[in-house]
Amino acid sequence: MSGARWEHLPHGADIGVRGIGRSKAEAFEQAGVALTAVVTDPKTVAAENSVEISCTAPDDELLLVEWLNALIYETATRKMLFSRFEVRIDANHLVATAWGERIDLNRHEAAVEVKGATCTELKIARNANGEWRAQCIVDV
């Protein structure tokens, strides 16, 4: 197993985000980093302030959509970007802390605005190596 990481998936007009981790929670954390990377380079976002996030869904796939949409909401309403996440998942409930900072256009070179997470290519799975993958397409 190669550890936690994220990647983008090619998609026609939108973009896919995928988080990979040793646990489902870690895969969700990395999906959060991938979401930030759609907007700007996560390495430029200081983990200065924390925001608590909680969401519930009937299954893991919809929990990922709820999680990413909660991050999109927090980004829009607080005018913040996030670079570090701590996620805890218990059955159908997610509790997380997201660390980041207010958007600074001098340092956070904005690429696009994410409008929402979708159910397109939505998948939560564990592969043969034991890695968890959490992915979906986000509307930009």
Taking residue 121's Cβ as centre, other Cβ atoms within 10 Å add up to: 14
For residue 41, what is the domain's CATH number? 3.55.10.10
- The conformation of residue 42, written as its DSSP 8-state character, comes to G
pTM for the whole structure: 0.93
Contact 45, 81 (CB under 8 A): yes
Question: What per-residue confidence (pLDDT) applies to 111?
Answer: 73
pLDDT per residue rounded down to tens, the chain (140 residues): 458 888 787 767 799 999 999 999 999 999 999 999 999 999 999 999 999 999 999 999 999 999 999 999 999 999 999 999 999 999 999 999 999 999 998 888 877 889 999 999 999 999 999 999 999 999 99
Helices (H), the chain: 24-39, 60-78
The boundaries of the domain holding residue 46 are 5-139
Residue type at 84 in one-letter notation: R
Number of domains in the chain: 1
Amino acid (one-letter) located at 139: D
